[in-house]
Chain A
């Protein structure tokens, strides 16, 4: 199967702190990859590097066999990489519909000067992620679960080839975790490829076909969920026994 995204020997440092250390892994077309690691292991830094918020010190990142390091964040997003944030980042003065609408704004000067009302796409996306009843609400009126849904809707509006889901279950109730997990599972079945970071392994396990585990920015294991959770090193760094 063709490789959708490939990271080759990427290193990212902040001063003397090595956040990502010569890391290599890949995601194939049609694959859902889990990314595990203890707090501070470099998962979010890796996402920031993949999306272009950070430029790696060395190594290469390929998307559909094209080296993308020289491309800025918005160019990478247009290529087909989207992300959600660990701490949801909605536009707080905009309604849910308007938040989704920003994802659909054309990145062209003249086209963007035309006024558009809310489109059916926004309605459909809001309905898809379960925000239909909140479409006119502001982010500060939403629960954490709904904010996660909004993050997802904004990412899906970009029609991405791959989505980076950062701690998508963090701060959610058990019921919300189940709902968001079902939603992601449904999107995966519809053809969405993603890399998902989560500390909630029960939620992560059924979603992913393969897992990559990192610690101190280094790859320590990769394989099926069952394989990696039985790896002694993973047990030690992640479960503490």
Chain B
């Protein structure tokens, strides 16, 4: 008889995470609270990347495209047209997902590096378009500022970002443990064999992409209304794209929990280094630490924790 995997232990973990973070929100100083909010949104973006790239192995350099389209749509509708946020936000999410589908879905029929190139091209094109076309609406290269915010102040924004992160992470964690999640992983390992088992690999890649785009677009919309601004240089820049990939790699690819750990690690690392190392050297130190960690343990911090737990269990007998 095969032992059934029980949900109890992981669910206890999720509940502890929920409880701790709810308490943290009530007691944390504003400076660290703001870092937590940034880490929460970074984690959402990293999970968005992980569900497609970590699980199926289809590496995307164009996730900022989806996030940016969603963010710009809600920002333009809210600020330039004056629509209420309850209308602009769902439209923004739909626009981000729709644009992602339009540009990336044909790319999912491609394999390996070709998909990366398609996604990277989409991001570069949208960056140029936002700057050059209808700058009266998009704000051109300076972007849009004074976009209506959902909430003012650290505490409500902390809880909003955390609840969003928690719901997304739990949902995606569940998906990765479903038959679909198992098939995503099988596609990463050997796509032809998956076809040979009677499964439409395009269908499963489409599921992964849809979920990934949904998470990215939701994150993009809420993040835009948190920082109350959006600019092409920051949203379509390499730094933003690499930070979500780095968070996933440093935390632990294809785990959902890893990107959360990674996002908190890199956000707090930059925050902690700030008083000691100024300017560009801070980013050099940050990069060295992250890549050192990744080279030392390619399964990321999640892998280190897993190994430690296994070692402890073995020691305990």
Is A201 located at the chain interface by the 8 A CB criterion? Answer: no
A113 contacts B by Cβ under 8 Å: yes
Question: At the interface, yes or no: A180 with Cβ under 8 Å from chain B?
Answer: no
Which of B19-27, B61-69, B72-80, B190-198 forms contacts with chain A? B190-198
Chain A contacts of B180 at CB under 8 A? Answer: 105, 109, 112-113
Interface size bracket, B side: 20 to 34
User: Is B185 a contact partner of A93 (Cβ separation < 8 A)?
Assistant: yes
Q: Please name the residue on chain B nearest to A151 by beta carbon.
A: B193
Chain B residues positioned under 8 Å from A82 (CB to CB): 196
Tell yes or no: A117 within 8 A of B by CB.
Answer: yes
**Given A102-B194, A112-B178, CB of A94 within 8 Å of CB of B183:** no
| Bound-complex Cα distance A115 to B181 (A) | 9
B193 contacts A89, C-beta separation under 8 Å:
yes
A92 at the interface (CB under 8 A from B): yes
Query: How many Å lie between the Cα of A37 and that of B273 in the bound state?
Result: 68
Contact B179 A91 (CB under 8 A): no
A72 / chain B contacts, CB cutoff of 8 Å:
195, 200
**A51 close to chain B: CB less than 8 A:** yes
CB proximity to A under 8 Å, residues B175-227: 175, 177-180, 182-183, 185-186, 189-190, 192-201, 203-204, 206-207
Q: Which residue of B is nearest A83, CB measured?
A: B196
Q: Are A102 and B183 in contact (CB under 8 A)?
A: yes
Per-residue 0/1 for A115-141: is the Cβ within 8 Å of any B Cβ (1 yes, 0 no)?
A: 111100011000000000001100000
Interface residues on A, range: 35 or more
Interface residue B113 (Cβ < 8 Å from any Cβ of A): no
Q: Is the CB of B182 within 8 A of A101?
A: yes
Q: Which of B174, B179, B195 contacts A74 (CB 8 A)?
A: B195
Q: How far is the CA of A116 from the CA of B203 in the complex (A)?
A: 19
Decide if B190 touches A91 in the complex (CB within 8 Å): yes
Beta-carbon contact of B203 and A107 below 8 Å:
yes
Per a CB cutoff under 8 Å, which of A51, A98, A111, A136 touches B196?
A51
Beta-carbon contact of A94 and B198 below 8 Å: no
**A97 lies within 8 A of chain B by Cβ:** yes
Contact check, B182 vs A105: say whether CB atoms are below 8 A apart.
Answer: yes
Check: B4 CB closer than 8 A to any chain A CB: yes
- Given contacts A93-B185, A114-B179, list 17 more A-B pairs with CB under 8 A: A51-B196, A74-B199, A77-B196, A94-B185, A101-B179, A102-B186, A102-B197, A103-B197, A103-B198, A105-B199, A109-B203, A112-B180, A113-B175, A116-B178, A117-B5, A118-B2, A123-B1
Q: Which residues of B contact A (CB under 8 A)?
A: 1-2, 4-5, 174-175, 177-180, 182-183, 185-186, 189-190, 192-201, 203-204, 206-207
> Which 7 interchain pairs have the tightest Cβ spacing?
A77-B198, A118-B2, A112-B180, A73-B195, A105-B179, A112-B179, A117-B4
15 contacts between A and B (CB under 8 A): A73-B192, A74-B200, A89-B190, A89-B193, A102-B197, A107-B203, A112-B180, A113-B175, A114-B178, A115-B174, A115-B177, A118-B2, A118-B4, A154-B197, A158-B197
